[in-house]
Amino acid sequence: MPAIAETRQELVHLVLPAHANVHGNLFGGRMMYWIASAATLPALRLARSSVLLGSMDDLDFLAPVRVGDLVTFRSQVE
C-alpha cells in the first residue's frame, strides 16, 4: 500500500473553446468535474479499489478562467 505522501497528484487542463461559454469563460460545471476528478485520483491510488466522492462542502469562484488558460489541480489524501 502506498504511503499517504505518495498520493500527491497534479492534474493540468488547458481550457478549450468547448469548455467555455460564448464569453470565453470556463463553465462552472466543467471546473467542478475537473476538481472531482483531481480529488478521486489520489484516493484511487491509496485505496486500490473503487472510491466515491461523498460531498463537496464549499466552492467559491473568485475570478473567471478563460479559454487558453492552464488550470492546475494539486491533490493528495489527508
Task: Output the average pLDDT for the chain.
Answer: 91
Instruction: Please give the Cα distance from 42 to 5 (Å, whole number).
Output: 10
Give pLDDT, residue 52.
85
pTM comes to 0.85
pLDDT exceeds cutoff 70 at 49: yes
- For residue 9, give its domain range: 4-75
pLDDT exceeds cutoff 80 at 3: no
Residues facing residue 14 across a β-bridge: 70
The CATH number for 31's domain is: 3.10.129.10
* Number of domains within the chain: 1
Give pLDDT, residue 21.
97
Per-residue pLDDT tens for 51-77?
888 888 888 999 999 999 999 999 988
**What single DSSP character describes residue 48?**
S
